[in-house]
Amino acid sequence: MFTYAPSSRARLSFSAGLVAASLLLLLASLVTGVQAEQNQRSAIVLTIEGAIGPATMDYVARAIEQAEQEQAALLVIRMDTPGGLMESMRMIIRDILGSSVPVATYVTPAGARAASAGTYILYGSHIAAMTPATHLGSATPVQMGGMPGTDNPEPAPDADAEADADADADADESEDKPRRGSSAMERKVLEDSVAYIRSLAERHGRNADWAEEAVREAVNLSAQQALERNVVDVVATDVNDLLQQINGRNVVMASGDQILETANLLIKQVDPNWRTRLLSVITNPNIAFLLMIIGFYGIIFELSNPGELFPGILGAVCLILALFAFQVLSVNYAGLALIMLGLALIIAEAFAPSFGILGVSGTLAFIFGSVILMDGTHQQVSLPMIGGIAAVAAGFMLWTLTRVVSLRHQPAISGIDKMVGQDAVAADDFQPWTDATQGRYRGHVQVSGERWNAVADQPVHAGQPVLIEKVEGLLLHLKPTNDKRDP
C-alpha cells in the first residue's frame, strides 16, 4: 500500500489555475455590471444656484446636449435662483422646449426659490416640481434700461389729456385693476412678458391666470399652494421621490406627446466644466467691471513706460476678458462710454493738470456710468466696489494735484531759472561797455562748462569769481566776489 503526494510543481499549477479562474469570474462580473449600467436608462441631474446668466445658459445647453447623446430618460434641473438676465432665461427655455429629452425643473432644497426668471423656466419645463418649504413668483421684469429707479413716461399732448390720464390712473388704482405700466417702454416689456409666460403655461396645461398675476403684481406661492392652484405638477421630497411620482405622466414634447418612464432610473450628476466655471466668474458684473478697470490702467501704464511689457500684456488680457463679458451681459453702452470717458479724464488730469477740473469731471462721469452700466435683474455692479474704485481714482487725482503744487514751490533744478544765484568764473577781463549806460562793464564767464556773455556794474578780472543775479535772454548780470580762481 502506498500514498500519492503531489509534487510542488503540481500544487503550484493548481493554485495558478484557481487564481486565473477567480480573475476571469471577477472580470465577467465587472463586464456584466458595466453592460447592465449601460443598458439601464439614466436621469441627468444638474444644479443651478444663484442668478441666471450666460454661464447658466451654457451649463443647461451642454447638459441637454449630453442627455440627448446618452439618450437619457429625463433631465432634472435642481434650481434655487433669485432671477437673472431675461435674454439668458429665454435661451434656456428655448433649449428646454426644443429638447428631445424631457426636462423637469425641481425647486430644491427646502428654503429655495424660483423667483423672477426662475418662474418662467419652471413654467417652460415639461415637469414643474417643488420641494416643501420652497416658493416661486415675483416674475415682474424690472430695470430695463437707464438709471435704476427711473422711468420714461410719454409726454401728454396737452394739460387736459395729462389730467385725464392722472384721473384714469387714480381710478385704476382705486378699482385694483391689474398693473399696466407707467411708461410706454414698461408697458411694452410687461405685456410681452405676460404673453410669453401665458404661452408657456398653456403649452403645458398650467395655471395661466396666476402666471399673469405673478408678472403684473409680483405675487408668490408656496409649494403646496402652487400644487393646489395647478402651477406645478409635483411636490416631492427628493429626486428619487420626484422620479417615482412622475412615472407614467404624459408630457408635451416638440415631437408630440410622450409618456415618462422614470421608475428606477440611474441618477447621474453633471457638474459645470471648466469653461462654464470660467464664464461664470468673468460674467459676474463685479469681476467684469474690475477686469475693465485693470485693463484700462494696464494699457495706460504700458503707454507711459514703453517696453515694460507686463502691464501691457496684463491690461490687454483683462480688457479682452471684460469686453467678452460685456458682450454676453446686458450692458448699457451709454454707461460704458461714461466710464471710459471718466477714466480718460482722470488720466488726463495727471498729464495736463487743470487744478481738479478734469479729475472731478472724470470721477463724476465714472460714478454715473458705473451705476447705469448693468441693466439686468440681479446683475448690477456692487455700489461699494464703485465707491471704492472712485475713491482710489480721486485719491490718485488729489495726490497728483498736491504733487504739482509742491513742485511749483521748489527751486528750479534745470534751465535758465536754475542759473540765478549760481557761482561763475570770469573768463577774461571785462571792458567798459560803451553801448550801454556809463559805468557798466562787459565780458565773458564760464558757467557749468559753458561760455556766456555777461555784464557787471564794476570791473571784473579774469579768474575772478562772480555771482549771477539775473538772466536776460543770453546776457548774465553779475555781482563780483572777493575769491579768485582759475578760469
Q: Do the Cβ atoms of 197 and 217 come closer than 8 Å? A: no
The answer on pLDDT for 31 being more than 60 is: no
The answer to whether residue 234 scores a pLDDT higher than 70 is yes
3-state DSSP: the chain helix, strand, coil percent, rounded to 5? 50, 20, 35
**Pairwise CA distance, residues 30 & 46, whole Å:** 28
* pLDDT at position 90: 92
Question: How do residues 340-349 score in pLDDT, each as one tens digit?
Answer: 888 888 777 7
CA separation for the pair 448, 317 (Å, rounded) = 49
What are the residue boundaries of the structural domains of the chain, listed by start? Answer: 38-144+183-274, 282-407, 416-480
pTM for the full model? Answer: 0.63
Q: What is the pLDDT of residues 236-277, one digit of tens each?
A: 999 999 999 999 999 999 888 999 999 888 999 998 888 788
Q: What is the mean pLDDT of the chain?
A: 79
The three-class DSSP label of residue 105 is: strand
CATH number 2.40.50.140 given to 416-480? yes
C-alpha cell at 210: 396666476
Name, of 14-18, 28-32, 362-366, the range with top average pLDDT: 362-366
In this prediction, residue 165 carries a pLDDT of 44
Q: Work out whether the CA dihedral 219, 225, 227, 228 comes out positive or negative.
A: negative
Q: What angle do CA 393, 396, 400 make, to 5 degrees?
A: 140
Q: Is 281 exposed, middle or buried (0-12, 13-18, 19+ CB in 10 A)?
A: middle
Distance of CA 283 to the CA centre of its chain: 4
38-144+183-274 and 416-480 have identical folds: no
Residues 6+ away with beta carbon under 8 Å from 51: 81, 82, 83, 84, 85, 377, 378, 379
Give the sheet arrangement for strand 220-222, strand by strand. 113-115, 135-137, 220-222
Burial 165-188 (b: 16+ CB within 10 A, else e): eeeeeeeeeeeeeebeeeeebbee
Predicted pLDDT at 241: 93
Q: What is the pLDDT of residue 15?
A: 64
CA distance 96 to 102: 8
Domain spanning 38-144+183-274: CATH superfamily: 2-enoyl-CoA Hydratase; Chain A, domain 1 (3.90.226.10)
353, 357, 414 from 402: Cα distances, Å: 11, 14, 21
- 291-295 mean pLDDT: 86
What one-character-per-residue DSSP string does 362-429 give?
HHHHHHHHHHTSB-STT-PPPHHHHHHHHHHHHHHHHHHHHHHHHHHTSPP-SSHHHHTT-EEEESS-
Of 142-151, 190-199, 287-296, the range with the lowest mean pLDDT is: 142-151
Distance of CA 297 to the CA centre of its chain: 17
Residues in the chain, overall count: 487
The model's pLDDT over 432-465, given as tens digits with 9 standing for 90+, comes to: 877 655 668 888 888 877 888 888 888 888 888 8
Mean pLDDT of 274-302: 83
